[in-house]
Amino acid sequence: MENLKQYIEDNKQRFLDELFELIRIPSISSLSEHKQDMYKAAELWKKYLLDAGADEARIYDTEGHPILYAEKIIDPKKPTVLVYGHMDVMPVDPIDLWESEPFEPEIRDGKIYARGADDDKGQAFMHTKAFEFMVKTNQLPVNVKFMIEGEEEIGSPNLTKWCAEYKDMLEADIILVSDTGMIAQDVPSITTGLRGLTYLQIEVTGPNRDLHSGLFGGAVANPLNVLADIIAKMTDEDNRVTIPGFYDDVLEASDEERKKLNQAPFSKEAYKKAIDVEELDGEKGYTTIERTGIRPSFDLCGMWGGYTGEGAKTVLPSKAYAKLSSRLVPNQDHEKIGKMIKDHIEKIAPKSVKVEVTPLHGGQAYVCPIEIPAYKAAEKAFEEAFGKMPVPVRSGGSIPIISTFDKVLGTKSILMGFGLESDAIHSPNENYPLFNFYKGIETIPLFYKHFAEMK
């Protein structure tokens, strides 16, 4: 594409200023007090898409947060790319671990530090700017549609229904998504698989009020101890989930597949050092890459109960809570597994407490075929921009809506991710290197070029 690098160079400060404006809106989808911020983010992004050259842009209300849609149809007979992204972000706690304000982006050591800098404002915004470049330089080779939602971080509860309702409007040849990572700045990669997810909340009630742990301790079941026991019982010494049937639907990878998977560049020492742990731990018999790529997980995302303040308050608490998430692999159904976990917990809970298990979120795993033109186009785009072929990888993360797109719209997705593991998404000090931001804007138009040529 002509003038690509020059256009980015000439506009780099403006691109950043515009992104910062978006980041400053604290669009946290899981906290109801930020409902209006989601509309603010949608309005601003709508303006950016219209300025970039969209024919039209509309904000759709849902039962939850809004969805932004925009399009530019250059010729109905030409192929169409549907860009998916999300404007909502994760909560910022623990807030005291942030080195700068989460919603006031700051550049340090060549990286943008802010909530949403990578996930997904930073990455999705690259598409807006790549689109702008193609329109302004008259090089847009296909039709483009944008679908930017506000509920990705809470499991996209309203997007499926909306997609079904506007199926015709959303018709496209491929969905293009930047909401994943790459191996390193000099090792581009394309995510070809995503894990599914089931997420449950457990509430254990013991006595009807907090009790004096001296007067009652030893004679009344303690809900925190009971909950710890329930959680502990659900995995064994080999870190395998003990719930009967849990692994039944897992497609075991062949020896050859596993061999290929383990050929991806990976340094165990560097991995351990980056997160500062002495030993890695996971399901026996699998490598780290396999444990996150092709095996399900079983993690507490939160647990709380009793006294959590300063000092030594003694109490036998009435309640204990946990948030439990299990990442699932292709062929495991999230609803089936969610119900299996719920039933199992209710079965093993002792009669001395009451247990309530509530499913909060779920999504299916996804596998992207690597033979389709869009995948080949993405490969070529990365090769041209980075000077080397991208590696196909299975990610441990989940974007539940991707498998839903396949099912509801009948359209495959290409996951062109530009994030790095060190971006600390979902964590304090989330960041996104300026290199990746600008390199993404440079790579995306090349995808369009190769995709148009191949179709």
CB of 80 or CB of 413, closer to its own copies: 413
CB of 216 to its own copies, least distance (A): 7
CB of 304 or CB of 435, closer to its own copies: 304
CB of 357 or CB of 446, closer to its own copies: 357
Instruction: Find, among 300, 293, 295, 299, the residue nearest to 397 by Cα.
Output: 293
CB of 81 or CB of 353, closer to its own copies: 353
- Assess contact for 427 and 419: CB atoms under 8 A: no
Query: What's the angle, vertex CA 61, arms to CA 133 and CA 22, rounded to 5?
Result: 40
CB of 385 to its own copies, least distance (A): 23
End-to-end CA distance of the chain: 18
Residue 431 one-letter amino acid = N
Distance CA 52, CA 57 (A): 11
Structure tokens at 389: 């072929």
Mapped onto helix, strand or coil, the DSSP state of residue 211 is strand
CB of 57 or CB of 154, closer to its own copies: 154
Distance CA 30, CA 40 (A): 16
CB of 1 or CB of 360, closer to its own copies: 360
CB of 381 to its own copies, least distance (A): 23
Virtual torsion, Cα 120, 123, 129, 131, nearest 10 deg: -90
CB of 162 to its own copies, least distance (A): 20
CB of 441 to its own copies, least distance (A): 24
**314: which residues sit within 8 A by CB, 6+ positions away?**
212, 213, 214, 307
CB of 273 to its own copies, least distance (A): 10
**312: which residues sit within 8 A by CB, 6+ positions away?**
none
Structure tokens at 54: 């969209």
CB of 198 or CB of 411, closer to its own copies: 198
Q: Please, what's the b/e burial string for 386-398 (b: 16 or more CB within 10 A of its CB; e: otherwise)?
A: beeebbbbbbbbb
CB of 161 to its own copies, least distance (A): 19
Mapped onto helix, strand or coil, the DSSP state of residue 174 is strand
CB of 167 or CB of 313, closer to its own copies: 313
CB of 60 or CB of 266, closer to its own copies: 266
CB of 255 to its own copies, least distance (A): 20
The dihedral region occupied by 56, where left means phi > 0, alpha psi between -120 and 50, and beta the remainder, is beta
CB of 54 to its own copies, least distance (A): 32
CB of 72 or CB of 121, closer to its own copies: 121
Instruction: Find, among 353, 326, 392, 362, the residue nearest to 180 by Cα.
Output: 392
Query: What's the angle, vertex CA 54, arms to CA 418 and CA 42, rounded to 5?
Result: 65
Structure tokens at 230: 């329930």
- Residue by residue, DSSP assigns 272-297 as HHHHT-S----STT--HHHHHHTS--
* Residue 275, CB-side half-sphere exposure with 13 Å CA sphere: 13
CB of 222 to its own copies, least distance (A): 5
Distance CA 362, CA 400 (A): 7
